[in-house]
Amino acid sequence: MESKNNIHTVQIKSATTTLFDKYGGVKLVVKLVRDFQSEILLRPHLAHYFQGLDLASITEHSILFLSFALGKPAKVYMTREMRDFHAKFHIKGLHFDEISDVLKGTLLTDGVSQADVNLVMTHLDKVRDVIVCE
C-alpha cells in the first residue's frame, strides 16, 4: 500500500489497480481466508456446514472467491454452479448474514479499509439469493 502522505499516487493506483493487488495479492487473501475460517469453525452453529467436507478444497474455493471479490478475475462464478453446490447445505439467511459479518470483521482486522470492505460485501450480497435456501 502507498503512504497516506502521497494521496495523489493512492488515487491513481486505486483507479487502475484491483483491491486484490492493492492489498498484497495472494499473501493477504490466504491470511484472510485462514482467519475467516478459523472464526467460522469456532462457532458450532456455523461449523456444522463444513463437517465431512474436504477443508483443503473449501479453502481453495474460498481463496478463489475472495480473490474474485477483490477484483481478480481468476474464476467466473456462475449462478447455477454456486446454487447447485450450496443447495445441499440448506443455508439459512441468518447464518449467511453472520458469515458475512465474520468476513467483514476479518477484512477490517486484517487492514482492509471500510470503503473497500463495502465493495467486497457488494459481491457477496449479489450471491446471497443463490446461496441461501431457507
The answer to whether the beta carbons of residues 131 and 96 sit under 8 Å apart is yes
Amino acid at 129: D
pLDDT at 134: 72
Rounded Cα distance between 37 and 92, Å, is 18
Q: Domains of the chain, with CATH numbers? A: 7-131 (1.10.490.10)
Structure confidence by residue, pLDDT tens digits, 45-73: 999 988 888 999 989 988 988 988 898 87
Q: Is the pLDDT of residue 105 over 90?
A: yes
107 or 73, higher pLDDT: 107
Positive or negative CA dihedral for 39, 44, 45, 50?
positive
Cell representation of residue 19: 483491491
What is the 3-class SS of the chain, one letter each residue?
CCCCCCHHHHHHHHHHCCHHHHCCCHHHHHHHHHHHHHHHHCCHHHHHHHCCCCHHHHHHHHHHHHHHHCCCCCCCCCHHHHHHHHHCCCECHHHHHHHHHHHHHHHHHCCCCHHHHHHHHHHHHHCHHHHECC
